[in-house]
Amino acid sequence: MYLTTEKKKEFFTTYGKSESDTGTSEAQIALFSYRISHLTEHLKKNRKDFSTQRALIKLVGKRRRLLDYLKRKDIERYRAIVKSLGLRR
C-alpha cells in the first residue's frame, strides 16, 4: 500500500497541529497533494484507467475547494501551505 498510517501521521504532524489533528485544512491539503502525485504517476503508466482518472479529478477539486476556503479565511496560512508544498509556480 502506498499510503501507510505512519505516512499519514507524518503529514499530520508536519502540517497539522499534532499527530491526531486530521481536520486541519493544511494537513488535508498535504495529504490530497500526496495522493494526487501518486495517482498522476499511475496514470502516466496506465493511460486508459478511467476510474483512476475520475478519482484524480475529484481529488483535485477537493484540494481546490480547501485551498479556496483557506484563502478566504487566512491568507497567510494559504501562502505558507502553497509555498511549502510547491503548488504554484
As a whole number of Å, the end-to-end CA separation of the chain is 30
Low-confidence ranges of the chain (pLDDT < 70): 1, 89
What pLDDT is stored for residue 88 in this prediction?
83
Dist. CA 23–CA 7, nearest whole Å: 16
Residue with cell 475520475: 54
What pLDDT is stored for residue 29 in this prediction?
95
What pLDDT is stored for residue 89 in this prediction?
62
Dist. CA 6–CA 8, nearest whole Å: 5
